[in-house]
Amino acid sequence: MKLPRAAGILLHPTSLPSPNGVGDVGAAALRFLDVMTASGLRVWQMLPLGPTGYGDSPYQCFSAFAGNPLLIDVAAPTQVGPVENFSSHVVDFGRVIPHKRALLDAATARLVPDERYRAFVAANATWLPDFALFIALKEAHNGTPWTDWEPDAVARHPAALDRWRRALATSIERVQREQYFFFAQFFALKKAATVRGIRLMGDLPIYVAHDSADVWANRALFDLDERGHPRVQAGVPPDYFSATGQLWGNPLYAWSTHAADKYAWWVKRMRASFRLFDVVRLDHFRGFEAYWEVPGDATTAAHGRWVAGPGAALFDAVATALGPLPIVAENLGMITPAVEVLRESLGFPGMSILQFAFGGDGKATDFTPHRLSRDNVVYTGTHDNDTTVGWWKSSGTTDSTRKVADVAIEKAYALRYLNADGHDMHWTLIRAALASVANTALIPLQDLLGLGSEARMNMPGRPTGNWGFRFTWEQLTPGILDRLRELIATYER
């Protein structure tokens, strides 16, 4: 896939301004499109949009197909009682979720089902009934994982499911209405982006959460024991972010079962994602060539083994069903020549991160600007990185994976390479990204605003306290937007 030369922004909708404590895909998102248009930005990358659970991570969702109800724009009715005052800089999920829940309940109750609603339910019959029943059952069981429900519900006995559908009909209908609202608003946003010449870029996690409708309804597709628990789990070995690796806890796929079914579940999943987005970042592409398998009872990812993934067979099957695949491969981490051979054979652009460009040995890396190619997607940093300001200020004294001496060498090399003095380092990296030959340059909004580590979106390996960053419209000053627009024009993006 060849991407046109363009600049874009990395921003999850939860980070948008909103009076309800969390951003959404409604009015604020439409306003952000206008900001992008005026600045010359032509790509908006988001994180996964699914309904989140414990830890509020968009990479641990209750469904690979559903939308997050928190992202629905719901106008508050006439205020009765005390006004909710939410932080404009951080999403307080503990307070926001019940507040938004009350607004959503009122909105779904007011919806009068019509032909459009019935058509939506029919068009999504391959996943919506299972998801709605899953959420209703989860609520009926006080939020416990599906493996702790009654055995007949865990095993999905048809008679038991029919009984539960009748008992939980009101909750099931509410969930379906929420999904109708979400997709109606998101497709309106996509249409508005297309009119403005802006491409939406999504993020498709390689794995799904164990406590999800996907696993509950498709147990044969995952490597589970007889009780439904993961026999082995996903993660990565020790890396830049964690000295003990990252233990994700997701169940691994029973790839032979997927292959026997011509990867039908993946075809369905990618078709759904391509309907939402013009381009999709495929998370942890490395795992399709070989993945890190950790025992199901492990408490860290330090000890595991590499196991061969499905390779090109998966993507060939999806392409046969859907045509050319608009995918960007997230090829970060422990990348072997075999991973790059697979990516290049499929024609997927890869990713380059400028925060990783200046090696601790004072030498160039694969991410150093003069080593990039046109099919790269270059970032100053990603949602997993510190902000560029935070990265530059870090001495390595609080990060066990970065030695103080290496950080000093890294910084000296970066200053020499970029011909910089260290002042406004976020703008220095933004300029380097935009000036590079990489066809797509993406900037996290935190870097555009020059924010420090307090605005970091995610700390890999930390189970809670992530995903909360928000900004205000006042922070997007005319000076920042004018400077960005000038750089975009200078480097022909």
Answer yes or no: 225 catalytic: no
C-alpha–C-alpha distance, residues 406 and 402, integer Å: 7
Taking alpha carbons only, the member of 23, 19, 93 closest to residue 53 is 93
C-alpha–C-alpha distance, residues 52 and 474, integer Å: 29
Residue 44 bridge partners (DSSP)? 9, 200
C-alpha–C-alpha distance, residues 73 and 71, integer Å: 6
Catalytic residue among 73, 293, 330, 375: 330
C-alpha–C-alpha distance, residues 280 and 276, integer Å: 9
Answer yes or no: 293 catalytic: no
Task: Evaluate whether 424 touches 416 at the Cβ level (below 8 Å).
Answer: no
Q: Reading across the β-sheet that carries 232-236, which strands appear in turn?
A: 246-251, 232-236, 290-295, 305-308
Instruction: Look up residue 455 and give its amino acid.
Output: A
Answer yes or no: 366 catalytic: no
Catalytic residue among 73, 178, 384, 410: 384
Catalytic residue among 283, 289, 293, 447: 283
* Sign, Cα dihedral of 40, 43, 46, 50: positive
C-alpha–C-alpha distance, residues 269 and 93, integer Å: 28
Task: Evaluate whether 467 touches 68 at the Cβ level (below 8 Å).
Answer: no
Q: At what angle do helices 158-167 and 128-140 cross, to 10 degrees?
A: 70
C-alpha–C-alpha distance, residues 154 and 217, integer Å: 9
Token digits for 104? Answer: 């959503």
Taking alpha carbons only, the member of 37, 39, 47 closest to residue 198 is 37
Active site residues: 283, 330, 384
